[in-house]
Structure 1
Amino acid sequence: MKPTLEEKSLYGEGVQVLNRRADRSVYQITDETGNAKMISYEVFEGITVVYNEVHMQEFSVDINPSEEVFEINHCREGRIECEFQNGDYLYMADGDFSVNRKEGTRHHSYFPISHYHGVSITVVPKLAQRELDHHFGTGQINLEQICRALCGRRGFFLIREPEWAEHIFFELYCLPEQIRKDYFKLKVLEVLLFLSTIGGETNQPSVYFPRGQVEKIKIIQKQITEHMDKKYTLEQLAAEHEMALTAMKSCFKGVFGSGIYSYIKRYRMSAAAKMLLETEHTILHIANCVGYENGSKFAAAFKDVMGMTPREFRQNREGKQYFLHDKMSEWS
């Protein structure tokens, strides 16, 4: 199926339409780094629920909405980068909830660990307001006021792992297909009704990272993943990239969700697991490729991350499937 102009404006020129019917469309974006799948449901006029399954590091879309649009997001698992006009960055992680304005601009989405699952509710206030007035009475829920109150000057509102968001969104991930359309209406109204009561005062302080630091951290991540056979000390990396040691450690964890040594270990084990599946190389050779000269130390590290030894992993069909569906998507 060919994408419409509206679909291209939302997901980019390279979007594929896998399936389309009156109230549900399935889209896919694919490149050499992986793929992203979006399942979109039209709930009311002006309100859409989208399931996002991303297994790639980044993509860009030219967004040019004809009306004011805001988006409600819940991150079930993974990480996504949020960039602000002043050059600051913020990162959503497991359980986080956000509201943001979508303005006419080139939108670049970056997923630090190439893994993101979540739900988005896209709202066009001028179109959706009629539906809410019909259900709750005129003016009881004011969408433009919700957007202004929550998004404010920055255009973005974030709460870290709120219990109420987990309760509201959990059910959206477990719905049978046959009842989704009607159930979405209840859940969307529940979310908007709740947002109309909280205002911006519950917005929690967040750690923002300046563009210069983030760019250096991404260079460091690329360096340590492209040269897995080399060993780096934190002091060496900080000096080489002209960063204070504390700032480097803090920013790396903020972007990628773990410390540098922990990230290197898990990335190396992911790469080793892929080689165990796709090549006939000896386990010692694979250990050397990911920076381990000692086979027993490599086996211990692999078991710590993957839950089984390299030999067991190579022989265990269930272990291979577990890795392909979870570990690869998260750490490759």
Structure 2
Amino acid sequence: MQPTSLEKSLYGDDVKILSRRDDMAVYLVTDKTGSAKMTSYQVFEGIDIIYNDVHMQKVHIDIKPSQEMFEINHCNEGRIECEFHNGDYLYMAEGDFSVNRKDGYCHKSYFPLSHYHGVSIAITPKTAQKEIDCQFGENKINIEKICNSLCGRKGFFLARQRERIKHIFFELYCVPEQIKKDIFKLKVLEIILILSTLEGEYPEQKTYFPRMQVEKIKSIHKQITEHLDKKYTLEQLAKEHDIALTSMKNCFKGVFGSGIYAYVKKYRMHAAAQMLLETDHNVLEIANCVGYENGSKFAAAFKDIIGVSPSVFRESKNGYYI
């Protein structure tokens, strides 16, 4: 099944079609680091809902829309990096939602945790406005004006978790198949209605990080995750990568969602879990591989992160605790 020129313009030249019917299509992008699956449903003419299931660190997509498009994104799990023309970076975390303008900019999506689940609503205002008028009355809600107002000059609007809107998005992740089409219509209209009330309501809450700083943090991440048997102090890392200690700590947490020590501990335990399932090494050998010389300290750390002891986890064989 070959992608159309429109599908390539939205998902990249390397996209594959796993399945397609009149109102739904499943797309797949892969590389040596993993895969990203996008399941797209047409809700109204000019409005689609896309479920994103990402297990890779980077997705390179040249987005070349033929008309002005906007995308509403909600992050359910993981993190996603947002890069701007001026070199600033911003990060969406679990529960955040954004509105951004699709303007033909070559977009490289980066997922710091190599894990992202979220939903997107793609809107082509000129096509969608007719349906909006049918639902709310002519000239009551101008979707293009609302999106442009929220996006501003940067072309991007981000809202951190808000109880008022949280339930709207989260209900999209548990829709029964038999009523999916009708629920999608209700939820899209509800989200658009809420967006029409947001102008001026959300103060600036964004924390931007400059490209040079982010690149240093990614180098630090690469170093500490590729050498799990080694231990580094924060001062050592900051000096080695020529970055102020406070800036390093703040930026690392901004990019990866937790402090360096907490992140490395979790990363080590998940790496150890994979070794327990995939190798015949004994527990102490695996502990040494991830930087622990003391077996009891390793077992305590493993249980703290995974929930059971290494021996119980290995006995499970299927790794259902991860």
Q: Bigger shift: 286-295 or 245-254?
A: 286-295
CA distance in 1, matches of 2:121, 2:235: 43
**Normalised TM-score (structure 2):** 0.98
Q: What does 1:192-207 correspond to in 2, within 5 Å?
A: 192-207=192-207
Aligned match of 1:321: 320
Q: Does 2:102 align with 1:87?
A: no
Quote how far apart the aligned CAs of 1:86 are. 1.0
The AA in structure 2 aligned to 1:321 is Y
Quote how far apart the aligned CAs of 1:201 are. 3.5
CA distance in 2, matches of 1:216, 1:128: 42
CA distance in 1, matches of 2:198, 2:269: 44
Q: Deviations over 1:15-73 (max 9, x none)?
A: 12111000011111122211111110001111000111111111100111000001111
Quote how far apart the aligned CAs of 1:203 are. 4.0
Q: 1:171 to 1:219 in 2, by over 3 A?
A: same
**Normalised TM-score (structure 1):** 0.95
The AA in structure 1 aligned to 2:210 is P
CA distance in 1, matches of 2:146, 2:14: 33
CA distance in 2, matches of 1:206, 1:75: 16
Aligned match of 1:42: 42
CA distance in 2, matches of 1:88, 1:19: 37
Aligned match of 1:178: 178
Q: 2:306, 2:321 within 8 Å by CA — same for their partners in 1?
A: no
The AA in structure 2 aligned to 1:187 is K
Aligned match of 2:303: 303
DSSP 3-state at the match of 2:26:
strand
Aligned match of 2:145: 145
The AA in structure 1 aligned to 2:142 is N
Q: 1:200 to 1:98 in 2, by over 3 A?
A: farther
Aligned match of 1:18: 18
Aligned match of 2:287: 287
Q: Deviations over 1:105-158 (max 9, x none)?
A: 211000000111111100000000111112222111101110121000111111
Quote how far apart the aligned CAs of 1:322 are. 3.5
CA distance in 1, matches of 2:178, 2:4: 26
Aligned match of 1:97: 97
- Runs of 4+ off more than 2 Å: none
The AA in structure 2 aligned to 1:124 is T
Q: 1:118 to 1:203 in 2, by over 3 A?
A: farther
The AA in structure 2 aligned to 1:222 is K
Q: Deviations over 1:77-126 (max 9, x none)?
A: 11000111111111001100111101112110000001111111000000
Aligned match of 1:190: 190
Please, which runs of 5 or more residues in structure 1 have no aligned partner?
324-332
Quote how far apart the aligned CAs of 1:164 are. 2.0
DSSP 3-state at the match of 2:197:
helix
The AA in structure 2 aligned to 1:103 is D
Aligned match of 1:265: 265
Q: 2:73, 2:97 within 8 Å by CA — same for their partners in 1?
A: yes
Aligned match of 1:221: 221
Quote how far apart the aligned CAs of 1:191 are. 0.8
Aligned match of 1:169: 169
Q: Bigger shift: 215-224 or 154-163?
A: 154-163
CA distance in 1, matches of 2:52, 2:321: 21
Q: Bigger shift: 7-16 or 207-216?
A: 7-16
Q: Deviations over 1:289-312 (max 9, x none)?
A: 111111111111111110111111
Q: Deviations over 1:188-210 (max 9, x none)?
A: 11111111122144144211111
Q: 2:313, 2:321 within 8 Å by CA — same for their partners in 1?
A: no
CA distance in 1, matches of 2:74, 2:203: 15
CA distance in 2, matches of 1:322, 1:68: 45
Q: 1:97, 1:165 within 8 Å by CA — same for their partners in 2?
A: no
CA RMSD of aligned residues (A): 1.1
Q: Give percent identity, aligned residues only.
A: 68
DSSP 3-state at the match of 1:321:
coil
Q: 2:307, 2:321 within 8 Å by CA — same for their partners in 1?
A: no
Q: What does 1:229-244 correspond to in 2, within 5 Å?
A: 229-244=229-244
Aligned match of 2:6: 6
Q: Deviations over 1:144-196 (max 9, x none)?
A: 11012100011111111011221111211111112111211111111111111
CA distance in 1, matches of 2:321, 2:150: 40
CA distance in 2, matches of 1:204, 1:72: 18
DSSP 3-state at the match of 2:196:
helix
Quote how far apart the aligned CAs of 1:217 are. 0.1
Quote how far apart the aligned CAs of 1:317 are. 4.3
Aligned match of 2:57: 57
Q: What does 1:27-38 correspond to in 2, within 5 Å?
A: 27-38=27-38
Q: 1:74, 1:120 within 8 Å by CA — same for their partners in 2?
A: yes
CA distance in 2, matches of 1:77, 1:200: 27
Q: 1:203 to 1:2 in 2, by over 3 A?
A: farther
Q: 1:149, 1:200 within 8 Å by CA — same for their partners in 2?
A: no
DSSP 3-state at the match of 1:281:
coil
